[in-house]
Amino acid sequence: MLKTGLIGFPLKNSLSPEIFKIFSGLTGFKISYRLVETREKNLPDTLKRLRASGWTGVNVTLPLKEAVTGFLTASNRVVRRITAANTLKFQKSGIAGINTDAMALSDAFREKSAQIKDKTAVVWGAGGAAKAALWFLAKNKAAQINLHNRDIKKARALAATISALFPEIKFKIRRFSEKTGKADIYINTTPVGMYAPGRLNAVFFRASAYCDLAYRSGETEFTRLAREAGARTIIDGREILVYQAARALEFWTNKRIAEIVEFKRETVRRLKIQD
């Protein structure tokens, strides 16, 4: 039995329990998956309690993706470079962490055959998910990233971190509410459209790619507007979430999922049936 779950706050709209229930049916793994609402001040006690209770590991969501890195005894290169993790594995020797946000973005853009190299991207947010998105874009040689965030100082600090790793990338910092210019790729890493009020002041084009890490039953406003504009590449938050979860399952079980694209598509199909 895999004893797993999700930590963060708030968790009321999370689809993760349903996703891992579907995974159990598709893989034959017996999976227990619980939501454990956790604020940052309670993080040390939560990790200690879950590890002592024999949990396999946890997924991590806002606002804890950066904070959990302080408790890791092992991590992959992405986590060490961007200081953000969203999947933990409890081991005898400590806690190992990886970042499946970056993996999921790579999986989703590859599935859609969306090109990154030499493209201009718009990203909303400057938290843990934004760090992974910027890493993904920079690693795949985007030419320019326009970063929109409410806290300009935080956005500048994040851009400086990524620029130090990928000096060839050009950054422009914009206020969150500022209307975007024309770009090739638009990625929302904030909870706007899911937990948080507000809207993304985006422009929509048929040839651009739109990716929303937020999700809800049906469509977010962002993906709906992209669809209505005839955008050819739209990646909704459920697709990203399923890819994240699949990579987490691989990490916890040390078993690779064959044909991960088909695995993801079948999971998303079953989720839509439940809507």
Query: What is the homologous superfamily of the domain 2-100+239-274 according to CATH?
Result: Leucine Dehydrogenase, chain A, domain 1 (3.40.50.10860)
Helices vs strands, H then E, count in the chain: 9, 12
Same fold, 2-100+239-274 and 102-237: yes
65 given a catalytic annotation? yes
Position 273 scores a pLDDT of: 73
Three-class SS of residue 139? helix
Q: Which are the contacts of 116, defined by CB distance < 8 A and separation ≥ 6?
A: 109, 136, 137, 140, 141, 142, 185
CA 121 to chain centre: 17
Position 239 scores a pLDDT of: 96
Phi first, then psi: give them for residue 105, nearest 5 degrees.
-60, -45
Pairing state of beta strands 57-60 and 87-91? antiparallel
Position 193 scores a pLDDT of: 84
**Domain ranges, ordered by start, for the chain:** 2-100+239-274, 102-237
DSSP string, 53-115: TT--EEEE-TT-TTGGGGG-SEE-HHHHHH---SEEEEETTEEEEE-HHHHHHHHHHHHTT--
Q: How far is CA 123 from CA 67, 112, 186, 214, in A?
A: 22, 19, 6, 13
For 59-77, b where at least 16 C-beta lie within 10 A, e where not — what string?
Answer: bbbbbbbbbbbebbeebee
Position 218 scores a pLDDT of: 83
Quote the pTM value: 0.94
User: What is the distance between the alpha carbons of residues 190 and 149, in angstroms, rounded to a whole number?
Assistant: 9
Could you give the count of Cα atoms lying within 13 Å of 235 in the half-sphere of its Cβ?
Answer: 28
Name the helix (H) or strand (E) containing 7. Answer: strand 2-8
User: What is the distance between the alpha carbons of residues 275 and 255, in angstroms, rounded to a whole number?
Assistant: 30
CA dihedral of residues 74, 79, 81, 84 (deg, nearest 10)? -130
Position 217 scores a pLDDT of: 80
CA 132 to chain centre: 7
Position 275 scores a pLDDT of: 62
Residue from 3, 65, 131, 264 carrying the catalytic annotation? 65
CATH topology of domain 102-237: Rossmann fold (3.40.50)
Instruction: List average pLDDT for each run of 10 residues in the chain, which is 275 residues long.
Output: 96 94 96 98 98 97 95 95 96 96 97 97 96 97 98 97 96 97 97 85 97 91 96 96 97 95 96 75
Q: Residue 248: name the closest of 60, 30, 46 by CA.
A: 60
Per residue in 211-246, pLDDT (tens digit) is 999 998 889 999 999 999 999 999 999 999 999 999
Task: Note whether 130 and 123 are within 8 A (CB).
Answer: yes
Residues in the chain: 275
